Every structure is written in structure tokens, then in C-alpha cells.
Chains A and B, each alone.
Chain A
């Protein structure tokens, strides 16, 4: 995989970088705020990373474009918000969510590793995968993942094992995924019902509040904000429900297909002379079967994969909905009790006794499911010895690099992450990340470039920096680094003296003005093939 071109912007301002080469690239400037971080985050953002953008940059109002050489061809990506468009072989693919894109990524671009997720094997998230080769500038923490999402350190390790073919398989007694979903729905139902009781009990005179609140100016403001959030939620729910509907249809399809196929298995004709069951029906018409077993199994398998993708998408929508609802709660928290009451009591409900009954029956249902979940036996089968060996291989590779750049250094690598609470800082952290990314590169032999924003963070000494660059050049693949130089370093043209280094100078860009008007036309031309109407 080679990054060829990165661009981002909209119809007002844009930036395009196409000077990347297939070796070690270093982007530098003589001062901060030249947009290097924005560029670096854009690279991975365009292909599905949950990027951490500099504060004050509203990523949702920009398009992010990447042209990437992968599987012997150029593929173009365009992301806005959580939608990604892909131009591959002159075919346009549209993804409305990162989960969809992930699924496509796995099918068409790069086989994603599978990791154990609460007893189920799931495709690793892109943000998790990119951590094997990408290091951003902010929120670094040697004791954990940088972008967590729904993943943790263990997921990272499992992903490494899976990338090296040491897979984990799980066996379940019940359909855990469904049980969990049922449990979650029940819990949220119980929650909302009990909330109603609480409110009724603490505010017996709701009706009177409502009339006085409706004249309030604050109420009107809040109300319009609320309606916007509600609209967002409604839209998300609509999309989620349609996915849910598709998923249910597919599940029904599987049983329908099985029954279509079954009718032929009822009873067999045999030749009474020789006992052979190879009796053929023959007449003027075509005598072939409509499909063969391989194809039928393939169709069923594909439908099942689709169902699991739909579950992922639904989960993603649910998370979005939760985010919006948190927004809603925040808004409600900051408003006066009157307004809040009005809003909450738009739903009419009768009295608390009725609700008590509902809660009770819901709780009973919940109990049954919880029991099932408890009794479930999950067997996770994995090869501990091989896993240990992988970790120790990576660690010894890390140590090898560490000795090269800092023979006197005191760091001891005992795991891929440091113990929580023990975070390397400054140049130590930088050395740790350097060793880790290169070791992962060598052990996994992965096809991704190495991308490090601010690779000399924390006052890394010049001599170590040069040693590192030397090692980056040695791995003979695309590496993209950024660095901010001190004045005397800048004046001495330090990077230009290193052979095999592609130097890209950002010093001419104005402070905080990487996005410029002059790039707008070329940028719009670049994204034209995606058929975007901006």
C-alpha cells in the first residue's frame, strides 16, 4: 500500500499534497501550526480511522480524499463524516457507515484479522488495525491504545495473533449475540419505565408546570434545539430500522431457502433391480439441476455474512443514536425544571401502578435471559504457546532496534504496552513507539506504510533522530514522517543532506492556513469523478 495523493477541503478552501514518494518521506516546517497534523490525520481518516483532529477544526464540513496504490492499482477514497466513497476500477462504491466500509475493505482490499469480541469472532476495527502502522501526535499513551473506540489492549494483541494466522475460535451454547441484544433492549425498557415512575412520584402536579412553561422564552429556544436533535435521532432510527428490516428479511430468507431445498429430500427413488439411487428423470427438456450443493452453501454463507454486517451497522447506528441522546440529556440538564417536565411529559401515561406492572414483567423476562447468559459455556480455543512466541519475537525485535538507537538506554520492554500508570514520556515514549512500529512491521511483514506524526516529539536528540531515519530508510517501504525544526536546524538544511529521503517543506505555508483558496478548483476537479454535488 502506497499513499500517492492526499487532499481535503470543500468549495471554499482546500489543500492537496501529491509529493509523496515510495520511500521515506519527511514533511517539516520551521514552526508549528503549519497543518502537518491535519495532513497526517487526513491520510488515515480518508480510509476509515477515527482521527483526532486538532481542536478548532470541524472535520464534518470537509471532504477527505486519498489516492492509494493497493493490490496493483490506484484506488481513490473520499470521506465526509461517516460516509466513504470508493472508486476502484472505475466502479463507484458508496458506504453510509464505517462498518459497511470495513466490510468492503475486508472483502476487496485487505483481509481483516478477526478478533474475539465477547465470545464472538468479529472483524477488527479499522482504527485498531491502523494502530500497527500509524502514530498520531495527540493523546499518545504508551500504556494503551490511542484511539480506543470499542477496543482494548487485548484486542490489539488478538489482532496481531490473527494477522499471523494464530486464530481464536469460539463455541457457544446459545446464540449469545441475540440474547445480549434482547437483554439490552429489556434493560432500556425497564429504565425508561422506572424513570416515569420517579418523575410522577416527585412531580405530582405536572400539568400546572406545562401551562406556565409554554410561555417561557427559554422553553422556545430549548425546544428548537431539541427538535433538531430529535430529528437527527429520528433519521438515525429510520436508517437503523431499515437495516434491521433488511436483516430480518435475510434471516427469513435463509429458512425459506432451506425449505425450498428440503422438499426434494423427502424420500428417495431406488431402482428395484440393482438398488441404485441414481435414477434420472429424463424427457425432452433440460435435465440439469438448478444449482449444485457448493453454490447453495455459498449463497447461504454469503447471506449469513450479510446478516452479520447488518448487525454491525445497526450497532453503529445505535452508538450514533446514543451520542445524540447524550446531547439531548445535556440540554435537558441545563434547562429549568419546568421546561424539562414539559418535554418529558409529552408522552402521556396513566398512573404509576400500571407502570409498576410493566416493569415487573419486564424484569422477569430479563431474569430468564440473564440465566441463559450465565449458563452459557463459551469455549475459546487458542494456541497460547504460539501467542507467547509472537509477543516474544516482537519484543526482541523492539529490543534490537532500541539497542541500535540508544545503546545506553534504560527502557525495558516487557509487553507491547507499558503497565498502566507507567507511561513513557518525552523522548522515551518516542523511542518506544519507534521500536514498536518497526518491530511490528518486521514481524507482521505488513503491506502498510509507516506513518508517524511528529516523530521526534519530546526533544529527541539529533543523533538519535538521524539513527532513526537511517532505520526507516532501511526497511525500504513508504514511510511518512513529520517534524518541526528549530531555527538553527532549519537553516542548516539538515534533512537535505540525507540520501534516500524525500523532503517536503511546509515552512512556506502560513500559520494555521493550510487550507487555501487556490486549491479549490483542482480539488473540485479531483473529487468530480465521485459525482459529488457540493
Chain B
């Protein structure tokens, strides 16, 4: 009952934009996205999702080639197929690709479809591509025909027709309608791409694991929660000082009794403190922890009383960094609360 890592990308090239898209598709665009707890990179496949109990794997093979012929599609199905016949419980097999030629498909409007949606001629060419690749790589006398048929029944083909922005927006409920800049989403996307590629720095070819959860020891994964946290914090960051006339309504209870000049001072202080937090790379863990705790709290609880949120999450908190004081944290809670509504 072991799994041997093969076909991993040994070189240290940047993960392609396309792989990042497939990652975001996996954790944001699927009906079952919520079940996914971790995402691994270049272990089982380019990108794979793992659930909380470590007993299901969502397997994605992505190919960003402008002209994917049916034969090539078949060839590229191989890693998915190879996982299919492994002993691990893969839940979904997804082939993530650009929009394929219309004449290959029966219903060309569908962006996510099963093998049955291919035209008969295309089907046969895909099967022959896959079969050839199986024979070439496996090089054994086993007859895989039935396995291939079973596999083709469950594989899903997903065509990419979204922009980077849309994928990122899909990952989190956190909304700020004011952000109009594509540049911002681009920057978050690139960041995720770089993180993804840095995760591949280790060498695991031919490493062996016997249980799904062991893959986490390779540190080639990210938790979905952290990705969401990253995106939310970036959204908050880019909004700091953007609109000094605006403050989250849940914060108003702390400043409503003040005159306008005192209000302005407090808001400027809070914004200044948050910007310090976003600039101080050396102390990032404290800030991450705070953000994480707030977001985790709201993922379980529904509560729009900032005071009680603060009391239940930070009752034992003593500021280790001067700028992350009580008022600033309450301000941050209010921002997150409003964004999540």
C-alpha cells in the first residue's frame, strides 16, 4: 500500500499561471470546494486537493496548450489514470485545459463536462492516445482496457474561461466593491503563483508514502484557510488610507460620541497602525495570527458586536507590538466583519 512519486517536475521553474488557475478553480469554483482542506503542489499531480479527514484526493492535471489534439489529450490523461489505478482513494479526476475545439464536443457550451460529451471520433482518438501512453510508460503485460473504460467514466474535463480576477474573487466571501483595479488581483495572483512555485523547491522524486496524510510532511502544500487569509489580508491592505471619510459601521460605536476632529485622529491612528503591520515583514507572524483568529472566529460564529468578538477572541491578548493595540484590533475586526457580510 505505497505511493511512489513519479513524474514530478524536477526542475525549479515557476509554476505556470495555468496551474495557479487550476488551484483557484479547485478551492473556489467547485460545488464541493468547501470540503477541500489542503492543496498540494506537484505531488500526486500538478495540483491536488485533500479533505480534512485525509481520505479523499481531488486530482487535477492542467495543460495550457493552445491546440490540444484529441491524441495529446489522451496522452495527458495518463497521470490522472495512473493515480486512478493507484491504491489511494482519489475522489475526482479533473483535466483542466483551455477551451477545446467545438467540433470535438457534442454540447460545446459546457465548460465542465464528462468524457461522454466528446464526439465519437474524438473519443476514439483520446482513448488511443491514452492507451499508447499507458503501454509506453507501464511497459508491462497487464491489460488496462477495462480500467481505462472505468476511468473515462469518471474523469471531468474543465475548460478555463475565467480571468485571474474571477478565480480570486471566488475563493473568499470577503468583498470590497470599491476595488476596481485589475492590477491588484494580478498582484495577488502572481504572489500565489510564486508561493506555489517555491513550494516545489524540494526534491521528492521516488519518495514513498503509505497514507495520504503523510504527504503533508513534504511541505508542498498550503491550507485553503491560509490562502483565503492571504487574499483577505491583501484586500484589507490595499484599502488602507484609501478613503479616509469612510470607516466600517461596526466601528462607529467606539467613535460616535466623539467630535469630528477626535474621530479623524482615531481613524488616522488605526490606519497608520495597520499600515505598520503591513510593512513590518519582520513581525509578520503576530499579525497573521490576529487575522487568522478573527477570520476563523467568523467562519464559525455569527456575531456583529465587535466588543464581544474582541472579548471572546482576544481576552488574553497583550500587545507584543505596540501598534497592534486594542483599538486597532477592534478596527480590524470591524473591517473584516463588514467585508464578510
A pairs with B: yes
Q: What residues make up the interface of A, taking CB atoms closer than 8 Å to B?
A: 91, 93-96, 100, 103-104, 107-108, 239, 242, 246, 249-250, 253, 256-257, 260-261, 263-264, 276, 278, 280, 282, 285-296, 298-299, 302-303, 305-306, 309
Query: A91-B246, A239-B261, A302-B241 in contact; A288/B288 too (CB < 8 A)?
Result: yes
Chain A residues lying within 8 Å of B277, measured Cβ to Cβ, are 290
Count chain B residues whose beta carbon lies closer than 8 angstroms to a beta carbon of A.
45
Query: A293-B187, A295-B238 in contact; A285/B285 too (CB < 8 A)?
Result: yes
CB–CB A302/B245 < 8 A: no
Chain B residues lying within 8 Å of A289, measured Cβ to Cβ, are 191, 281, 284
Query: A280-B198, A299-B241, A306-B244 in contact; A242/B265 too (CB < 8 A)?
Result: yes
A108 to B280, CA, bound (A): 30
CB–CB B260/A94 < 8 A: yes
Query: A286-B285, A295-B278 in contact; A276/B12 too (CB < 8 A)?
Result: yes
For window 272-293 of B, CB contacts with A under 8 Å fall at 272, 275-285, 287-288, 292
Residue of B nearest to A291 (CB): B278
CB–CB A286/B226 < 8 A: yes
Chain B residues lying within 8 Å of A242, measured Cβ to Cβ, are 261, 264-265
Chain A residues lying within 8 Å of B276, measured Cβ to Cβ, are 253, 256-257, 260
Chain B residues lying within 8 Å of A94, measured Cβ to Cβ, are 245, 260
Chain B residues lying within 8 Å of A296, measured Cβ to Cβ, are 278-279
Given A246-B268, A306-B241, 12 further pairs, Cβ under 8 A: A242-B264, A263-B281, A276-B12, A280-B198, A290-B277, A290-B279, A291-B278, A292-B191, A293-B187, A295-B237, A295-B238, A299-B238
A222 to B276, CA, bound (A): 52
Chain A residues lying within 8 Å of B243, measured Cβ to Cβ, are 104, 107-108
For window 12-32 of B, CB contacts with A under 8 Å fall at 12
Chain A residues lying within 8 Å of B281, measured Cβ to Cβ, are 260-261, 263-264, 289-291
Chain A residues lying within 8 Å of B233, measured Cβ to Cβ, are 290-291
Q: Any chain A CB within 8 A of the CB of B173?
A: no
CB–CB B237/A291 < 8 A: yes
Please give the distance in Å from A423's CB to the nearest CB on chain B.
Answer: 41
CB–CB A288/B230 < 8 A: yes
A285 to B237, CA, bound (A): 21
CB–CB A292/B219 < 8 A: no
Q: Looking at the complex, which one of B183, B245, B292 makes contact with A100 (CB distance below 8 Å)?
A: B245
Residue of B nearest to A290 (CB): B284
Please give the distance in Å from B82's CB to the nearest CB on chain A.
Answer: 29
Chain B residues lying within 8 Å of A250, measured Cβ to Cβ, are 268, 272
Chain A residues lying within 8 Å of B257, measured Cβ to Cβ, are none
Q: What 5 A-B pairs are tightest by C-beta distance, nearest first? A: A294-B187, A290-B284, A302-B241, A295-B237, A291-B278
A286 to B233, CA, bound (A): 14
CB–CB A294/B183 < 8 A: yes
Please give the distance in Å from B220's CB to the nearest CB on chain A.
Answer: 10
CB–CB B272/A290 < 8 A: no
Chain B residues lying within 8 Å of A260, measured Cβ to Cβ, are 276, 279-282
Chain B residues lying within 8 Å of A290, measured Cβ to Cβ, are 233, 277-281, 283-284, 287-288
Q: What residues make up the interface of B, taking CB atoms closer than 8 Å to A?
A: 12, 183-184, 186-188, 191, 195, 198, 201, 219, 226, 230, 233-234, 237-238, 240-246, 249, 260-261, 264-265, 268, 272, 275-285, 287-288, 292
Please give the distance in Å from B171's CB to the nearest CB on chain A.
Answer: 14
Please give the distance in Å from A363's CB to the nearest CB on chain B.
Answer: 36
CB–CB B240/A302 < 8 A: yes
Chain B residues lying within 8 Å of A282, measured Cβ to Cβ, are 219
Chain A residues lying within 8 Å of B188, measured Cβ to Cβ, are 292
Residue of B nearest to A283 (CB): B219
Please give the distance in Å from A89's CB to the nearest CB on chain B.
Answer: 10
CB–CB A294/B288 < 8 A: no
Please give the distance in Å from A294's CB to the nearest CB on chain B.
Answer: 3
Residue pairs across A and B with Cβ atoms less than 8 A apart, 16 shown, are A250-B268, A257-B276, A260-B279, A261-B281, A264-B282, A276-B12, A286-B285, A288-B288, A289-B191, A289-B281, A289-B284, A291-B237, A293-B187, A294-B238, A298-B237, A299-B237
A298 to B244, CA, bound (A): 14
Query: A104-B245, A239-B261, A250-B268 in contact; A278/B12 too (CB < 8 A)?
Result: yes
A302 to B238, CA, bound (A): 9
Chain A residues lying within 8 Å of B285, measured Cβ to Cβ, are 285-286
A376 to B195, CA, bound (A): 47
Chain A residues lying within 8 Å of B238, measured Cβ to Cβ, are 294-295, 298-299
Chain B residues lying within 8 Å of A305, measured Cβ to Cβ, are 241
CB–CB A299/B12 < 8 A: no
Residue of B nearest to A280 (CB): B198
Please give the distance in Å from B9's CB to the nearest CB on chain A.
Answer: 15
A107 to B246, CA, bound (A): 12
Chain A residues lying within 8 Å of B245, measured Cβ to Cβ, are 93-95, 100, 103-104
Please give the distance in Å from A162's CB to the nearest CB on chain B.
Answer: 21
A96 to B283, CA, bound (A): 37
Chain A residues lying within 8 Å of B241, measured Cβ to Cβ, are 299, 302-303, 305-306
Please give the distance in Å from A107's CB to the nearest CB on chain B.
Answer: 6
CB–CB B198/A278 < 8 A: yes
Chain A residues lying within 8 Å of B187, measured Cβ to Cβ, are 292-295
Residue of A nearest to B262 (CB): A242
Chain A residues lying within 8 Å of B268, measured Cβ to Cβ, are 246, 249-250
Please give the distance in Å from B194's CB to the nearest CB on chain A.
Answer: 9
A256 to B245, CA, bound (A): 24
Q: Looking at the complex, which one of B191, B230, B272 makes contact with A249 (CB distance below 8 Å)?
A: B272
CB–CB B184/A299 < 8 A: no
CB–CB A246/B265 < 8 A: yes
Residue of A nearest to B14 (CB): A278
Residue of A nearest to B252 (CB): A92
Query: A104-B245, A295-B238 in contact; A253/B278 too (CB < 8 A)?
Result: no
Chain B residues lying within 8 Å of A253, measured Cβ to Cβ, are 272, 275-276
Chain A residues lying within 8 Å of B249, measured Cβ to Cβ, are 91
Residue of A nearest to B282 (CB): A263
CB–CB A292/B279 < 8 A: no
